[in-house]
């Protein structure tokens, strides 16, 4: 009798463990669905709550990329993307040395043998005539700033030997 009682008790214990496990699994699934439902709602576009500061100082604080001193007032625009993150577009003309210094700050400063793609032109706001004027004299830079969590891409066009036009776009990672 002792062995059948032990088998019955062991069988009951297994059944109870299974029930607890099933209940735990069901509770976990329910929690996942609830959290998942909340996350879906979180993917909706956020409504911008404030106007974006488009000063050179604000851009530098956001991107970690300092703009050169002595350049004419840069054209800086900013908007919110679909997730409510700020996206800066910057355009300025500078000397070749100033442009190179900015892109060296960004990182991955390389010649662009393929020129500028249509997608890049649209994303950075580059006029087709500017690309034509620069010819093959195009360089680019692109890097992630670990401190700010932003990604900056840049294209530098050299319309002549002394000047450069710099186009930058910076956005938060996860875009």
Kindly report, residue by residue over 23-66, the tens digit of the pLDDT.
443 334 333 433 344 444 444 544 556 899 999 999 999 999 99
- Which residues does 140 contact at the CB level (< 8 Å), separation at least 6? 103, 108, 109, 110, 112, 153, 154, 155, 156
The predicted structure's pLDDT at residue 48: 55
SS3 at position 5: helix
The predicted structure's pLDDT at residue 37: 41
Q: CA-CA distance, 14 to 115, in Å (whole number)?
A: 69
pTM tops 0.75: no
User: Mean pLDDT of all residues in the chain?
Assistant: 78
Mean pLDDT for the stretch of residues 94-112:
90
Kindly report, residue by residue over 109-145, the tens digit of the pLDDT.
888 878 899 999 999 999 999 998 888 889 999 999 8
Q: CA-CA distance, 170 to 86, in Å (whole number)?
A: 8
The predicted structure's pLDDT at residue 133: 87
Q: Report the candidate in 122, 134, 136 with the shortest Cα–Cα distance to residue 164.
A: 134
SS3 at position 86: strand
Q: CA-CA distance, 17 to 29, in Å (whole number)?
A: 18
* Cα 57 versus chain centre, distance: 20
Q: CA-CA distance, 65 to 103, in Å (whole number)?
A: 9
Q: CA-CA distance, 75 to 11, in Å (whole number)?
A: 76
The predicted structure's pLDDT at residue 21: 40
């Amino acid at each position: 009798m002792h062995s059948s009682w032990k088998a019955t008790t062991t069988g009951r214990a297994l059944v109870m463990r299974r029930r607890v496990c099933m209940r735990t699994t069901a509770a976990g699934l329910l929690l996942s669905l609830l959290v998942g439902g909340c996350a879906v709602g979180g993917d909706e576009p956020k409504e911008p709550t404030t106007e974006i500061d488009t000063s050179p100082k604000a851009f530098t604080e956001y991107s970690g990329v300092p703009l050169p001193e002595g350049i004419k007032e840069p054209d800086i625009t900013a908007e919110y993307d679909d997730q409510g993150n700020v996206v800066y577009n910057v355009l300025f003309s500078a000397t070749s040395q100033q442009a190179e210094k900015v892109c060296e700050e960004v990182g991955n400063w390389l010649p662009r043998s393929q020129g500028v793609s249509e997608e890049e032109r649209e994303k950075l706001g580059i006029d087709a005539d500017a690309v034509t004027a620069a010819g093959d004299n195009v360089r680019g830079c692109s890097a992630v700033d670990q401190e700010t969590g932003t990604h900056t891409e840049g294209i530098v066009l050299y319309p002549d030997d002394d000047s450069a036009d710099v186009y930058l776009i910076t956005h938060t990672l996860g875009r």
